[in-house]
Structures are given as C-alpha cells and as structure tokens.
C-alpha cells in the first residue's frame, strides 16, 4: 500500500496592512513643502535656461548672417569702386585720343610745311583742345596769379626778389601756372614774390 504523506497544514497568509506613513513633525512638513517648491523652481529654471539657450542660438545665427551681409557689402563696394576708377581712367584716356591725333597731324604737317607760323598755329589749336577737354572733364582751369598778393593756399614761392613800383608780397613772375577744379586746388602756382 501506498503510504500517504503527511501534509503540512498550509499557513494562511494574512494580508498585511499597509504600513502607516510615519507622522511628520511640523518642521518636517515645512521642509517637505520647501523641497517641493525648490523642485518646481528647478524645473522652471531649467525651462528658462533652455529657452535662453535657444534665444542665444538664434541671436548667434542672426549675428553671423549680419556679419556675412556686411562682408559681402564691403566686397561689393570695393568692386564698384574699382569699376568706377577704371571707368574714370578710361574716360580720361578716351578724351586724350583726339588730342594725340591732332598732335600727330600737327607734327606731320610741320614736317611737310616747315613754315614757323603754321607750326605755332597747330600747337595753339592742340593746346586749346587740351584746355577745353580739362574744363569739360572736371571743370579744370589754369590760373595765372601775376599781380595778385601771395597766398600760400594758391601759390608756392620759389624765390623772393626786389621789384620797383610793386609793394612787398605780390606775385611778380610765374614759373608754372596753377590748376584748380572748381574751388579745389590741384596744383599751386610756382611763383616769384616781391620783397
């Protein structure tokens, strides 16, 4: 026969009562509230910090775009300035071609006709053409200050000489005429001044 095993009686498990929360003292309750407030504050500060990081990133991108636009503008201005200078030079050079042509014609004519009067006339015509060209291109004119009082803004004194019937400080002779464009002095006249 088969023997039966003795069974051990099963223990009944009694459901445990949830452990009661320990009672907090007033001080611990206040500290707990403070901790919750601080945790909320940390979360708010983290959100603000992330927002500020995003603002800084956007500001940096905008600054980089502005710097790039500025650099491109500088390069564009330099190219335009260079083009303007080239155009201005070309304009001057193109204006000189007819004068050169006339000088060449005058030189050829002088070789063919060795008359002194025609030579003077040809050179005078070319000289007048040059003066007209300078006047048209930038309102450039020569000035001859003989008889005027010496002005260091307009004249460059090469020497001083005694002169009869002329008061001191007057221009009595001009070595080189001066040139001006409107009110701007391009070249001061080189002069001799009376003592």
- 79 pLDDT above the threshold of 60: yes
- 71 pLDDT above the threshold of 60: yes
DSSP letters for the chain: -PPPPPPPPPPPPPPPPPPPPPPPPHHHHHHHHHHHHHHHHHHHHHHHHHHHHHHHHHHHHHHHHHHHHHHHHHHHHHHHHHHHHHHHHHHHHHHHHHHHHHHHHHHHHHHH---HHHHHHHHHHHHHHHHHHHHHHH-EEEE--TTSBP-TTTEEEEEEE--TT--TTBEEEEEE-EEEETTEEEEPEEEEEE-
pLDDT tens digits, residue range 1-12?
A: 555 556 566 666
Q: What is the pLDDT of residue 17?
A: 64
Q: What is the pLDDT of residue 152?
A: 92
- 97 pLDDT above the threshold of 90: no
Domain ranges of the chain: 141-195
**Residue 129's pLDDT band (boundaries 50, 70, 90)?**
confident
pLDDT tens digits, residue range 30-49?
A: 999 999 999 999 999 999 99
Q: What is the pLDDT of residue 187?
A: 87
Q: What is the pLDDT of residue 140?
A: 86
Q: What is the pLDDT of residue 2?
A: 53
Higher per-residue confidence, 111 vs 185: 185
- 72 pLDDT above the threshold of 70: yes
Q: What is the pLDDT of residue 101?
A: 78
The topology under which CATH files domain 141-195 is: Nucleotide Exchange Factor Grpe; Chain A, domain 2 (2.30.22)
């Amino acid at each position: 026969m088969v023997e039966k095993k003795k069974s051990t009686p099963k223990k009944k498990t009694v459901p445990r009562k949830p452990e009661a929360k320990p009672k907090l003292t007033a001080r611990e309750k206040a500290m707990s509230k403070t901790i919750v407030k601080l945790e909320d504050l940390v979360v708010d500060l983290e959100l603000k910090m992330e927002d500020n990081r995003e603002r800084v990133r956007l500001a940096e991108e905008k600054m980089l775009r502005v710097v790039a636009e500025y650099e491109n503008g500088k390069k564009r201005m330099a190219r335009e300035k260079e083009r303007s200078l080239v155009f201005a030079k070309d304009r001057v050079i193109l204006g000189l071609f007819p004068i050169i042509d006339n000088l060449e014609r005058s030189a050829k004519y002088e070789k063919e006709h060795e008359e002194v009067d025609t030579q003077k006339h040809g050179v005078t015509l070319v000289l007048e053409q040059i003066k007209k060209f300078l006047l048209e291109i930038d309102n450039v004119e020569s000035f001859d200050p003989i008889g005027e009082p010496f002005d260091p803004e307009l004249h460059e004194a090469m020497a001083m000489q005694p002169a009869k019937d002329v008061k001191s400080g007057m221009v009595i002779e001009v070595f080189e005429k001066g040139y001006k464009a409107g009110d701007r002095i391009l070249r001061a006249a080189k002069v001799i001044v009376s003592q």
